[in-house]
A = this chain, B = another copy of it.
Amino acid sequence: MDSDSDDQLDRAFLALADPVRRRIIARLSRGPATVNELAEPFEMSKQAVSKHIQVLEQAYLVTRSREAQRRPVHLDPARLEALTAWIDRYRLVREGQFRSLDAVLNHQAVHGGRQEKDQS
């Protein structure tokens, strides 16, 4: 369960760690598109773009429908929320906590203080 959500975060962040896939998302934010349409701006084979779409799909960042022989891809913005939710847990670290921590660190090092377990 924890490793499940871990795995979903893995896939989602990994999916965004590629400029091609980010451009695909940017395109899809303006509406759905077919594989051929998505592939057109890129100097790479349609198969390669198809693979990128599969990566996005397995990360649940996009979904697909049926439309004759076309398989329109559309963005699922809900998944992006999950990513910002994770990030938001850590990005608001206070200035106060950030200043003069090495003093605190020294204290911990000297006294060997070990704390509670971290989460995901």
Q: How many residues of A contact B (CB 8 A)?
A: 59
A6 to B: closest C-beta gap in Å: 5
Interface of A is mostly: helix
Q: Which residues of B contact A120 (CB under 8 A)?
A: 19, 22-23, 26
Copies of this chain in the oligomer: 2
Q: Decide if A84 touches B81 in the complex (CB within 8 Å).
A: no
Tell me whether A32 and B80 are in contact in the complex, defined as CB-CB below 8 angstroms, given that A10-B17, A118-B26, A120-B26 are known contacts.
no
Q: Given contacts A6-B22, A13-B16, A34-B105, list 13 more A-B pairs with CB under 8 A.
A: A9-B16, A9-B17, A13-B13, A22-B120, A23-B120, A26-B90, A30-B97, A32-B105, A37-B108, A65-B102, A75-B93, A77-B91, A77-B93
